[in-house]
Amino acid sequence: MQTLIKSVHFTARPELEEYTRDKIEGLSKLNTKIIRAHVTLSVEPGGSPENKSCEILLSIPGDDPYVKKTATTFEEAVSLATNAMEKVLRRKKPR
Protein backbone atom coordinates (compact mmCIF):
# COMPACT_ATOMS: atom_id res chain seq x y z
CA MET A 1 0.00 0.00 0.00
CA GLN A 2 1.26 3.44 -0.91
CA THR A 3 0.71 6.27 1.58
CA LEU A 4 0.70 9.88 0.38
CA ILE A 5 0.76 12.55 3.10
CA LYS A 6 0.06 16.18 2.27
CA SER A 7 0.26 18.99 4.82
CA VAL A 8 -1.69 22.18 4.11
CA HIS A 9 -0.87 25.55 5.73
CA PHE A 10 2.06 24.09 7.72
CA THR A 11 5.13 21.87 7.40
CA ALA A 12 4.72 18.47 9.05
CA ARG A 13 7.45 17.22 11.37
CA PRO A 14 9.04 13.89 10.41
CA GLU A 15 7.71 12.41 13.69
CA LEU A 16 4.15 13.36 12.72
CA GLU A 17 4.55 11.80 9.27
CA GLU A 18 5.95 8.59 10.81
CA TYR A 19 3.08 8.45 13.33
CA THR A 20 0.59 8.94 10.52
CA ARG A 21 2.17 6.21 8.36
CA ASP A 22 2.10 3.76 11.29
CA LYS A 23 -1.60 4.41 11.95
CA ILE A 24 -2.49 4.14 8.25
CA GLU A 25 -0.58 0.88 7.82
CA GLY A 26 -2.77 -0.63 10.54
CA LEU A 27 -5.73 -0.21 8.18
CA SER A 28 -4.17 -2.61 5.67
CA LYS A 29 -4.80 -5.45 8.15
CA LEU A 30 -8.55 -4.87 7.74
CA ASN A 31 -8.52 -4.76 3.94
CA THR A 32 -5.64 -6.20 1.92
CA LYS A 33 -6.96 -4.65 -1.32
CA ILE A 34 -6.08 -1.06 -0.34
CA ILE A 35 -3.96 0.35 -3.15
CA ARG A 36 -3.26 3.84 -1.85
CA ALA A 37 -4.02 6.06 1.13
CA HIS A 38 -4.25 9.81 0.60
CA VAL A 39 -3.86 11.65 3.91
CA THR A 40 -4.30 15.42 4.15
CA LEU A 41 -3.31 17.19 7.36
CA SER A 42 -4.41 20.80 7.58
CA VAL A 43 -4.95 23.73 9.89
CA GLU A 44 -8.56 24.88 9.67
CA PRO A 45 -9.23 28.64 9.62
CA GLY A 46 -10.88 30.19 12.66
CA GLY A 47 -10.09 30.82 16.29
CA SER A 48 -11.24 27.46 17.63
CA PRO A 49 -8.63 25.38 19.51
CA GLU A 50 -9.90 22.33 17.59
CA ASN A 51 -8.47 23.43 14.26
CA LYS A 52 -6.19 20.52 13.27
CA SER A 53 -7.82 18.19 10.77
CA CYS A 54 -6.98 14.87 9.15
CA GLU A 55 -8.65 13.61 5.99
CA ILE A 56 -8.16 10.03 4.80
CA LEU A 57 -9.18 8.79 1.36
CA LEU A 58 -8.45 5.15 0.56
CA SER A 59 -8.21 3.80 -2.99
CA ILE A 60 -9.82 0.36 -3.00
CA PRO A 61 -11.13 -1.36 -6.14
CA GLY A 62 -14.85 -0.61 -6.35
CA ASP A 63 -14.90 1.79 -3.40
CA ASP A 64 -13.09 4.90 -2.12
CA PRO A 65 -14.00 5.43 1.55
CA TYR A 66 -13.35 8.90 3.00
CA VAL A 67 -13.29 10.30 6.54
CA LYS A 68 -12.40 13.66 8.04
CA LYS A 69 -11.83 14.38 11.72
CA THR A 70 -10.80 17.53 13.59
CA ALA A 71 -9.10 17.80 16.99
CA THR A 72 -6.78 19.99 19.06
CA THR A 73 -3.62 18.14 17.93
CA PHE A 74 -2.68 16.45 14.68
CA GLU A 75 -1.92 13.19 16.48
CA GLU A 76 -5.40 13.14 17.99
CA ALA A 77 -6.98 13.99 14.62
CA VAL A 78 -5.05 11.17 12.91
CA SER A 79 -6.07 8.74 15.64
CA LEU A 80 -9.76 9.75 15.41
CA ALA A 81 -9.70 9.50 11.61
CA THR A 82 -8.04 6.07 11.52
CA ASN A 83 -10.49 4.77 14.15
CA ALA A 84 -13.40 6.04 12.07
CA MET A 85 -11.92 4.47 8.92
CA GLU A 86 -11.53 1.15 10.76
CA LYS A 87 -15.28 1.21 11.48
CA VAL A 88 -16.03 1.96 7.81
CA LEU A 89 -13.81 -0.91 6.64
CA ARG A 90 -15.34 -3.34 9.15
CA ARG A 91 -18.85 -2.41 7.98
CA LYS A 92 -17.97 -2.98 4.32
CA LYS A 93 -16.05 -6.21 4.94
CA PRO A 94 -17.56 -9.13 3.04
CA ARG A 95 -19.02 -11.76 5.34
CATH number of the domain encompassing residue 59: 3.30.160.100
CA-angle at 28, arms to 54 and 82, nearest 5°: 25
pLDDT exceeds 90 at position 45: no
**44 confidence band (pLDDT: 50, 70, 90):** confident
pLDDT of amino acid 88: 93
Strand-pair category, 66-71 with 52-59: antiparallel
Number of domains in the chain: 1
Kindly state whether residue 60 falls inside one of the protein's structural domains: yes
Asked if the structure places residue 8 within a domain, the reply is yes
Q: What is the pLDDT of residue 63?
A: 86
In this structure, the dihedral spanned by the alpha carbons of residues 94, 77, 9 and 15, taken in order and rounded to 10 degrees, is -100
pTM score, whole prediction:
0.91
Q: Residue 55: which domain range? A: 2-74
Asked if residue 69 is part of any domain, the answer here is: yes
Strand order through the sheet with 52-59: 2-8, 36-43, 52-59, 66-71
The residue type at 72: T
**Mean pLDDT computed over 42-53:** 86
